[in-house]
Amino acid sequence: MTDKPRIGFIGAGLMGHGMAKNLVEAGYPLSVLAHRNREPIDDLVSRGASEADGVAAIASTAKIVFLCLPGSPEVEEVVGQILSAKGPVATIVDTSTANPVSTRSLAERCHASGISLVDAPLSRTPKEAWDGNLDVMVGASEAVFEKVKPLLDVIGGKVVRVGETGAGHTMKLLNNFLSLGYAAIYSEALAIGAKGGVSAEVFHSVIGGGRMDCGFYQTFMNYVVGGDPNAHKFTLRNAHKDMRYLVSLANESGIASNVSSVVKNTLATAEATGHGSGYLPTLADIVAELNGVGRGKA
């Protein structure tokens, strides 16, 4: 027996698999929702987790439920099912990248049912998720944050309370805006360079190690010049979704979305041309193709 609370985990995908693995290995009783991809579910069950056949089954036993879902529509649907189940759930920790407007509305509904909704979106990659070394941006009251921090410390190497509910998802969108903006800039710069006779390798030899270098630049260029197709496993479809949320938030806030709208439209073009399932660094190929140049070639 353990005095640790039972956790339900919904969304054991690329990021969720590693997070759930670390929770169960830390000794938390874990129920995981069945998923179309059997590999992570079977792995988690082999480590001691139990499999549930629906959201209601998760909500009927779990004290805390983690969500790691594609976006706000899925989060809204699952939270609605948890509330309808009227089980022992006291806290929902939403690690998805979601729209803060939706998050704040859901938090009010949860509060009316005696449940705390914590937005705790993530930064970094599935590798860090597996290693328990994610960056976690948390929106919650100070009291609720202190209650959930031991759990978040299991999945994260850097756990920061950024404000009240909704602030976590806001900070995550700002974080992604920076990285996705860089992706758009790198892609256009590489296309201009290719047209002007500057190869991607030469570009990288100048920028790499200089003042404009950074961790994201390195993973992006690990695909462009290193040829690693898994250098940054984040799809263009999800990137486009995140920028739609960011522009929506800017519009609601009365902020002119001059730059963010351009980045959003760049990603919209990538998805509209059939490349939504590609990973983010492939944006360099798409921008090059749209401009009639071979990436890295004059």
For residue range 85-106, list pLDDT tens digits in order.
999 999 999 999 999 999 999 9
CA distances from 176 to 111, 141, 153, 294 (A): 28, 24, 22, 27
Please, which pLDDT band fits residue 14 given cuts at 50, 70 and 90?
Answer: confident
Q: Could you tell me if 24 and 30 are in contact, meaning their C-beta atoms sit under 8 angstroms apart?
A: yes
pLDDT surpassing 70 at residue 297:
no
Please, which pLDDT band fits residue 3 given cuts at 50, 70 and 90?
Answer: confident
pLDDT surpassing 90 at residue 1:
no
How many other C-beta atoms can be found within 10 angstroms of the C-beta atom of residue 127?
Answer: 12
pLDDT surpassing 50 at residue 217:
yes
Please, what is the Cα angle at 122 between 141 and 91, to 5 degrees? 40
Q: Which of 176, 167, 174, 175 is nearest to 144 (CA)?
A: 167
Contacts of 261 (CB under 8 A, 6+ apart): 247
Q: Which two tokens stand for residue 298?
A: 């004059």
Judge whether 172 counts as a catalytic residue.
yes
Instruction: Give the CA radius of gyration of the chain.
Output: 20
How high is the pLDDT of residue 294? 72
- pLDDT per residue as tens digits for the range 155-182: 999 999 999 999 999 999 999 999 999 9
pLDDT mean over 41-53:
95
Domains of the chain with bracketed CATH: 7-165 (3.40.50.720), 170-290 (1.10.1040.10)
What integer best gives the mean pLDDT of the chain? Answer: 95
pLDDT surpassing 90 at residue 219:
yes
> Exactly one of 4, 147, 172, 241 is catalytic; which is it?
172
CA distances from 126 to 14, 32, 251 (A): 6, 18, 31
Q: Which of 166, 184, 148 is nearest to 286 (CA)?
A: 184
pTM of the model: 0.89
Contacts of 5 (CB under 8 A, 6+ apart): 28, 29, 62, 63, 64
Angstrom distance (rounded) from CA 234 to CA 9: 21
Q: Which two tokens stand for residue 283?
A: 């944006």
Please, which pLDDT band fits residue 36 given cuts at 50, 70 and 90?
Answer: confident
- pLDDT per residue as tens digits for the range 130-160: 999 999 999 999 999 999 999 999 999 999 9
How high is the pLDDT of residue 242? 96
Give me the numbers of helices (H) and strands (E) for the chain, helices first please.
Answer: 13, 9
Q: Which of 59, 78, 51 is nearest to 67 (CA)?
A: 78
Angstrom distance (rounded) from CA 94 to CA 165: 11
- What is the phi/psi pair of residue 68, to 5°? -140, 80
Q: Which of 224, 221, 215, 233 is nearest to 279 (CA)?
A: 233
Q: Which two tokens stand for residue 148?
A: 């959930």
